[in-house]
Amino acid sequence: MSAGARRTLRLDTAEALRLVASVPLGRIVFTRRALPTVRPVNHLVDGGDIIVRTHHDAALALMARVGGTDGVVVAYETDVIDVEAGLGWSVVVTGFCRLVTDPAEVARYRAAIRPWTDRHLDQVVRIRPDLVTGVRQVAAE
């Protein structure tokens, strides 16, 4: 594997969220029994928030339900990396995750997000970003 000279660029929030919106799959990180838990999930970006479908008994849905009005702190990561070329990008969003309860919103998001799994995903959660960090590895000029 031989990659040419590269440089790392920091992404601003708008560009980072645009990149998150450009891919359908990411990984959500939350705490379960005081330990970090990671799950692959499909998402969409709506008004700067990240929307994810999950199922009623999922640990994430349970945590979002008991998190109160603030919700539960999560991290969400997406990336596109070309390992051979050593190029690509990675974005991490940290914020509060809350259950979406408005029936019209739930129906709209359920119709818009096609899950990668065949599980019945009847719950929808919203991540409101507080911290967005991202980097892009590009070929040096």
pLDDT at position 79, please? 97
Tell me which of 23-37, 77-91, 124-138 is least confident.
23-37
**Residue 131 within any structural domain of the chain:** yes
Q: What is the pLDDT, as a whole number, of residue 1?
A: 43
Answering whether pTM is above 0.75, one says yes
> What total of structural domains would you count in the chain?
1
Range of the structural domain that residue 96 is part of? 12-135
Within a domain: 100:
yes
Domain membership of residue 5 (yes or no) is no
6: in domain: no
Whether residue 67 lies inside any domain: the answer is yes
Q: What is the pLDDT of residue 59?
A: 64
Domain with residue 119: its CATH number is 2.30.110.10
Instruction: Please indicate, yes or no, if residue 2 is contained in any of the structural domains.
Output: no
* 124 within some domain: yes
By C-alpha distance, which of 67, 70, 72 is closest to 29? 72
- 90-140: per-residue pLDDT in tens? 999 999 998 888 999 999 998 898 877 766 667 889 999 999 999 999 988
Distance CA 96, CA 107 (A): 22
What burial class does residue 104 get, using C-beta atoms within 10 Å of its C-beta: 0-12 exposed, 13-18 middle, 19+ buried?
A: exposed
pLDDT tens string 33-60: 888 889 899 999 999 999 998 865 566 6
pLDDT value for 58: 63
In a domain, 1, yes or no: no
